[in-house]
């Protein structure tokens, strides 16, 4: 039986392991255990973020996160969705869908009108997953740069 719940500090090892799986797939990211653990701790401590895990027989087998951002386009909060991953042995059983539904409910309860995420353009299974759940591509592309450190 699958159970989706809010994450807590005791889930950190399992979530880091899931992020290893995710970041190994995504060309734009490299797995770094210390960084991912630190990022997860920030999410756990933030009241602007939601970190969810899916459990099967008391083992964490999936996760996702969402962070509130203010959108002037929406005139209110939007949700940045990240860290969506289900352990390979548990895929195609509805776990990912359950996680996304729970994230949607958390966001809707906070006045969020739009959810957004970045996906690897070559990740066909994930793009299919999102498309079937009503997500649509946009005309935007993602740019990034690293912050210059002040001297
Ligand atoms: C993308 C991902 C999170 C989806 O998780 P999942 O648990 O497999 O998702 P679901 O089971 O809810 O849905 C996946 C498919 O299984 C199907 N499915 C759901 N329940 C099912 C069941 N009981 N029996 C058979 N198929 C089922 C769904 O129809 C869906 O198919 P579709 O996408 O072709 O419509 C997962 O594939 C994953 O972890 N991928 C690697 C990480 C990744 O790419 N993350 C996204 C980063 S942007």
Instruction: Name 148's Cβ contacts closer than 8 Å, sequence gap at least 6.
Output: none
Which numeric CATH code is attached to 2-132? 3.40.630.30
Predicted confidence pLDDT, tens digits, the chain (151 residues): 999 999 999 999 999 999 999 999 988 999 999 999 999 999 999 999 999 999 999 999 999 999 999 999 999 999 999 999 999 999 999 999 999 999 999 999 999 999 999 999 999 999 999 999 999 999 999 999 999 998 7
Is any ligand 1 atom within 6 A of the Cβ of residue 94? yes
Copy the structure tokens of residue 85: 């991953």
Domain extent listing, the chain: 2-132
Which residue's C-alpha comes closest to atom 48 of ligand 1? 119
Is 84 in contact with 64 (CB distance < 8 Å)? yes
Is any ligand 1 atom within 6 A of the Cβ of residue 25? yes
Distances from the Cα of 1 to the Cαs of 55, 59, 60, 95, in angstroms?
8, 11, 12, 10
Cβ count within 10 A of residue 34: 8
Which residue's C-alpha comes closest to atom 19 of ligand 1? 94
Look up the pTM and report it.
0.96
């Amino acid at each position: 039986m699958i159970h989706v719940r809010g994450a807590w500090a005791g889930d950190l090892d399992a979530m880091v392991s899931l992020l290893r799986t995710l970041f190994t797939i995504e060309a734009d990211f490299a797995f770094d255990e210390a960084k991912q653990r630190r990022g997860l701790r920030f999410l756990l401590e933030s009241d602007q973020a939601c970190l969810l895990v899916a459990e099967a027989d008391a083992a964490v087998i999936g996760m996702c996160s969402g962070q509130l951002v203010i959108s002037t386009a929406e005139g209110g909060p939007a949700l940045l969705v990240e860290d969506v991953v289900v352990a390979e042995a548990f895929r195609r059983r509805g776990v990912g869908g359950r996680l996304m539904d729970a994230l949607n409910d958390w966001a809707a309860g906070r006045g969020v009108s739009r959810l957004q995420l970045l996906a690897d353009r070559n990740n066909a299974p994930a793009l299919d997953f999102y498309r079937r759940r009503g997500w649509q591509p946009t005309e935007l592309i993602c740019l990034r740069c690293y912050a210059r450190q002040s001297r």
